[in-house]
Amino acid sequence: MLSRTADNLYWLARYVERAEYLARILEVTQRLTTLPLSYAGSSNEWESALATAGCAHAFSVLYPEASEEAVSDFLCFSSANPSSIRNCFELARSNARAVRTALTVEMWDAINGAWLELKRFGNGPSSREEFLRFLRWVQENSLRFDGSAYRTMLRNDAYWFSRLGVYMERADNTARILDVKYHMLLPAHERVGGPLDYFQWAAILRSVSALTAYHWVYRDSVKPWLIADLLILRDEMPRSLASCYQNLVLYLDHIAHAYGRQGPAQRQARAIRARIENSRMDEIFQTGLHEFISEFITDNNRLGVSISEQYLI
Amino acid sequence: MVLAFDEMKAADGTVRPAYGELASWLAGVPPDVLDFRRREAEVLFRRIGITFAVYGEADAQERLIPFDVLPRILSASEWDILRSGLEQRVTAINHYLRDIYSRREILKAGIIPEDLVFRNPVFRPEMNGQKVPYDIYVHIAGIDIVRIDAHTFYVLEDNARTPSGVSYMLENREIMLRLFPELFARHHIAPVENYPDELLAALNSVAPASSSADPTVVLLTPGVYNSAYYEHSFLADKLGVELVEGRDLFVRDELVYMRTTQGSKRVDVIYRRIEDDFLDPLAFRPDSALGVPGLMSAYQAGNVTLANAVGTGIADDKAIYSYMPEIIKFYLGAEPILKNVPTWRCREPEHLSYVVEHVEELVIKEVHGSGGYGMMIGPQADKGTVAAFRAKLKSNPRNFVAQPTLALSTCPTCVDEGVAPRHVDLRPFVLTGRDRIRIVPGGLTRVALTKGSLVVNSSQGGGTKDTWVLDR
């Protein structure tokens, strides 16, 4: 398979995953900001959304203040933001177009249909209701694309590279949420927050679509240290760092097996997974959640570079 | 102007045999059904992603070529004439190219003026004395044909470089099969879907002798911004070969490789859809970012086959076109089966004076123009344009040829007013391999959708039709 084709497939999957993630964050932020201040706290949630999306700096260059309108526009429709939802769809489609031959008709339909339909939303929705519909629409299209890939692609290197894109992006996204919100996820012996924090915790779970999953896993009310446990260590939680790395190792192994050669990417992925597997939440809290997450983000980026060097260029 | 030949109906209103079934079906079909099928076709095309970029229109990067749902029909006997004429013409073109780049007997015989070849920018001195596998230069040709009356087909233009349009031939048929299964059941229509197989067989057959028994074929595209990119990806998919860009290939020790996820892989045959000029920045245009540095050295070493060969432009150049009947006679010793459109070469003084006097009646073409650009249709041009072309003719006559305004045949076509005759042409695709010539019955029919218009080019608002060759 051409390196460029693999690269296009990988980024196609990443951009679709990123668009979905941005839509989730915005949906959750909107929900939080509609709560009375006494429930949600006084922090500016829109700033936090920018930080979670990893583009606070780019935003601050262009706008004086993180208002709802400015942040929504920046994250959804702005052409100045290379990672806005619109740009994600644009980039996803141009990657798809470059590898039409490697996609199934269903995948092409999903991404091309979404791209065509995106024009319907013009330069942004006119009301909050429509904005919410837009965010839902983004998530549905991501689901449709992901489902099409899962149900129709041959299980060969094209599929594996596309899955690598999904899990690299997902691991990065989950880690970013944790990075921005780590100060709320305190260990059990620290002061337990009042009802005020509950909504923040719920919001974190919602942004990775894990609120219901949380209850099924822990059968307990929402506790911050359990949220951290769920998002970092739990294999069964599809957006956890553990689960992402289980999949990354799996698909990198498929590739190595098919090509008959292991490389730095395989070794690095296994090392990161081993670190997660051998960690316990209380240890992570002890050495510092923030440090753990920062290190993870650096490692994850480094794996991205290795995958690229080994296969994509 | 003479009345155009209507392919469905004779002057007295009787329906020609090939169109019998279609005419009776058309007579019975309610207009809203046709309209519905039209819209259905549009949705299908947009979903499938057939798009065609039109140069010069900023926001039209992905405009659809209009598709007409009524087929153009050729009888088996008409096709037999076309097929044998196409085989003859392409065979002669390959003989001619080998001659031009080796012994040049046709020049020595004084049949073609030397300067038309040697001073022509599409002539490639790099190809002098260069051996190409099995002496095949043009593996894929698209020959543009127009029809004037019941018996006369003219070749309007030869495309021997990187002819496009075959994806529309294939997709049009797929769409028609979905939209009109009942019409297919009522006819015996020769299939076209085997074109990719035939193309692959032709490409495999010309692999360099040094390649393995299972040669690696790739399709080289200029990239997603090229107007025919859709076709490139479509064909690569149907052929089951990699669609590569210049940056995916590299040359080492005069061998061509592609960069894959498993390291480098040797490439044997390149079906290239990049013009000569951009193939290799070391040999041709140094500013080309589309090509592969060193590709020509590998080609000259005989380690890779390019389809089509480098330098085939000297066969389809408009300046050479008018000599094609002589070329056929010279190499094959036979009369051309398909005629040329009578052509005045403005480089010859007596031709020029005739052309200058009759500008309003003629079609004037720039020798190096293509795609409907740089041409003027005299009877349809305004005074200013005519005057401008007359001035251009006088100042640089060598740059022009002129032809009579042909009354291109018409086919019934769905337009806003209903079903009406519109002018059409035909581009069949001729594949030349080591073993034989392959032509899939039919080709791409292009139709000028505007009433009275003779310009069928998609870049100028023309549309396409499915082309049916009846099996009997």
Query: What is the gyration radius of the CA atoms in chain A, in angstroms?
Result: 19
Give percent of chain A above pLDDT 90.
60
Please say if the pLDDT value at position B57 is more than 60.
no
Where a domain ends, among A153, A184, A214? A153
Kindly list the distances between the CA atom of residue A59 and the CA atoms of A47, A128, A134, A173, B198, in Å, as whole numbers in the listed order. Answer: 10, 21, 21, 18, 55
What's the pLDDT band for B60 if we cut at 50, 70, 90? very low
Give the domain-ending residue among A124, A153, A182: A153
Residues A149 and A254 in one domain: no
Q: Does the beta carbon of A257 lie under 8 angstroms from any beta carbon of chain B?
A: no
* Helix ranges restricted to H, B14-159: 20-28, 31-48, 76-100, 105-108, 114-118
Highest mean pLDDT among A175-179, B19-23, B33-37: B19-23
Residues A46 and A70 in one domain: yes
pLDDT tens, B178-207?
Answer: 899 989 999 999 999 999 999 999 999 999
Residues A191 and A144 in one domain: no
Count of the separate structural domains present in chain A? 2
- Take residue A309 and report the two structure tokens written for it: 């060097």
Asked whether residue B98 carries a pLDDT value surpassing 60, the answer given is yes
Kindly list the distances between the CA atom of residue B298 and the CA atoms of B97, B207, B257, B317, in Å, as whole numbers in the listed order.
21, 13, 10, 27
Q: Is B374 left (phi over 0), alpha (psi -120 to 50) or beta?
A: left
B50 to chain A, minimum CA–CA distance in Å? 11
Is a pLDDT exceeding 80 seen at residue B58?
no
Q: Which residue of B has its CA nearest to A117?
A: B47
Task: Mark whether A132 and A50 lie in a shared domain.
Answer: yes
Do A160 and A144 belong to one domain?
no
Cβ pair A2:B46 closer than 8 A = no
Q: Are residues A185 and A302 in the same domain?
A: yes
Q: Looking at the complex, does the CB of residue A161 fall below 8 Å from at least one CB of chain B?
A: yes
User: pLDDT of A245-285, one tens digit each?
Assistant: 999 999 999 999 999 999 999 999 999 999 999 999 999 98
B427-450 average pLDDT score: 95
Q: Of A126, A153, A180, which residue sits at a domain end?
A: A153
Q: Which residues contact residue B259 at a Cβ distance below 8 angstroms, ignoring those fewer than 6 apart?
A: A2, A3, A4, A313, B248, B249, B250
A100 touches chain B (CB under 8 A): yes
Can you tell me the distance from the alpha carbon of A286 to that of B373, in angstroms, rounded to the nearest whole number?
74
B415: Cβ–Cβ under 8 A, 6 or more apart, which residues? B422, B449, B451
pLDDT above 50 for B129:
yes
Residues A220 and A289 both lie in one domain = yes
pLDDT one-digit tens code per residue, B346-398: 989 999 999 989 988 898 988 876 656 678 888 888 888 888 888 888 898 98
Q: What is the CATH number of domain B344-404?
A: 3.30.1490.270
Range of the domain at A298: 155-313
A-chain CB neighbours of B247 within 8 Å are: 4
Distance CA B387, CA B359 (A): 9
Q: What is the dihedral of CA B389, B391, B397, B402, to 10 degrees?
A: 30
At B55 the pLDDT is 40
Q: Are residues A65 and A161 in the same domain?
A: no
- Share above pLDDT 90 across residues of chain B, in percent, rounded to a whole number: 66
A168 plus A313 within the same structural domain: yes
Q: Do B49 and A108 touch (CB under 8 A)?
A: yes
Q: What is the ipTM of this complex?
A: 0.78
Q: How far is CA B205 from the centre of its chain?
A: 22
Region B251-280: mean pLDDT is: 96
- Across chain B, mean pLDDT equals 90
Does residue A108 carry a pLDDT above 50? yes
Q: Using CA of residue A95, residue A98, residue A102, residue A105, what is the dihedral sign? A: positive
Q: Are residues A164 and A298 in the same domain?
A: yes
Q: Is-contact B287 B281, C-beta < 8 A?
A: yes
Residues A133 and A20 in one domain: yes
Contacts with B245 from chain A: Cβ below 8 Å: 4
User: Are A3 and B242 a contacting pair at CB < 8 A?
Assistant: no
Would you kindly state where each structural domain of chain B is located, as residue ranges?
A: 17-208+304-340+406-469, 344-404
A114 and A181, same domain (yes or no): no
